[in-house]
Amino acid sequence: MDISIRLATKEDDNVDWIDHTKGSAINTCPMWGMIRYVKGLTPTAEGRNLALEAGSACHEVFAAARYASLFNGMHHDLAIIKGTQHFGRDRFDTMHVAFRNAETHTEAITNFSLEALHTSGYYDDPRDKRRTLQNIEDACRAYLQHHNFGAWTPYVDKETGFIGIEVPINLLIECDLGRFRFVGKVDAIIDNRENGCIEVHENKTGSRINDAWAMSFHMSHQVTGYIFASKFIISPKERRDINSGVVHGLQIPLPRNVEIGGIVAERVTRSDENIDRWMKWLLDTYKTIETYKDRVLDSPLYTHSCNRYFQPCMFIPFCTISRDEQEAMLTDEFREDKWNPLTNEVA
């Protein structure tokens, strides 16, 4: 199959997109994935998604730390400009005061980053005793103390003003099946001073971070796709290729002894064969979407996924009723909830 890939432009904004979340959902169960992530519909329910909110707040800390790591170096002015654009002027100024008031550079990075958490808008939910603001702060503080800022420096292209922090991915893929975009957001593209490589670094938070968790990322299509896409983003003058990365895991709350778990930095590599397998997965996903996007109720139902992660799928009440009842339920009892990974906006 002939495949053409390039960076998408503004003129391609109307082309349908696939991100890793959508692709994983469709391959977990097409019925669930098509309704939830292609149509963007979910059963009407009230309440906060604490896992998503806590993860987003932590990612603000991770991004802030990477900007702050550049403040005392040759890219100071550019980091200030980009950091201000990322966080907004008022918020950035508040964070920068905390940076300037510190006595050491390490303390300055920590203060600046935790101020990003405190100004993120996250607040405690009395029903969740694990994802408290204090637990998140304690975990982030430990992460910052363990992170190798001296070696893991964000990739900077001075000619274009590019800094490899929270990098949008937007590739246009054209093939015999049609055309679509692969989109996402890379947490960081890093210029590793220890090994001289350009790498993709991804941050993850969870309730249990251990060796078994880390092992899964040696096969993760998300990491593979991000490594592949990052090749299109760095400067065309750059002679170094990208074929590796680090997945950073942070457990919330932290275990009592962080030396035996809770904070993980797992190094991963990707070969051309890994890329080929990821591309086949992506194209198969696109084929499924094209087949069922106008008739989602005909989508295959993968019942082995009804109890994934030992929790019943929220769609079980929907999937057990008749076709007529399903059509009525989609209209009357589902609400639109579409998330754009490029803008972080929810429709």
Instruction: Please state the domain extents for the chain.
Output: 3-46+296-346
Q: What pLDDT, on a 0 to 100 scale, did the predictor assign at position 346? A: 59
Q: Is residue 176 classed as helix, strand or coil in its secondary structure?
A: coil
Q: Which long-range contacts (CB under 8 A, 24 or more apart) does 97-101 make?
A: 99/68, 99/71
Q: What pLDDT, on a 0 to 100 scale, did the predictor assign at position 338? A: 87
Torsion (CA) 253, 254, 255, 259 in degrees, nearest 10: 170
Q: What pLDDT, on a 0 to 100 scale, did the predictor assign at position 261? A: 77
Q: What pLDDT, on a 0 to 100 scale, did the predictor assign at position 46? A: 62
SS (H, E, C) 111-124: HHHHHHHHCCCCCC
Contacts of 172 (CB under 8 A, 6+ apart): 5, 6, 7, 8, 9, 12, 15, 179, 180, 181
Determine phi and psi for 73, rounding to 5 degrees. Answer: -115, -165
Q: What pLDDT, on a 0 to 100 scale, did the predictor assign at position 144? A: 96
The amino acid at residue 20 is H
Q: What pLDDT, on a 0 to 100 scale, did the predictor assign at position 197? A: 95
CA distance 125 to 133: 9
In order along its 347 residues, the chain shows pLDDT tens digits of 799 999 999 999 999 999 999 999 999 999 999 999 999 999 877 678 898 999 999 999 999 999 999 999 999 999 999 999 999 999 999 999 999 999 999 999 999 999 999 999 999 999 999 999 999 999 999 999 999 999 999 999 999 999 999 999 999 999 999 999 999 999 999 999 999 999 999 999 999 998 889 999 999 999 999 999 999 999 888 889 999 999 999 999 999 887 767 999 999 999 999 999 999 999 999 999 999 999 999 999 999 999 987 789 989 999 999 999 999 999 999 999 888 888 776 55
CA distance 160 to 176: 34
Cα 61–chain centre separation: 14
The amino acid at residue 333 is E
Q: What pLDDT, on a 0 to 100 scale, did the predictor assign at position 84? A: 98
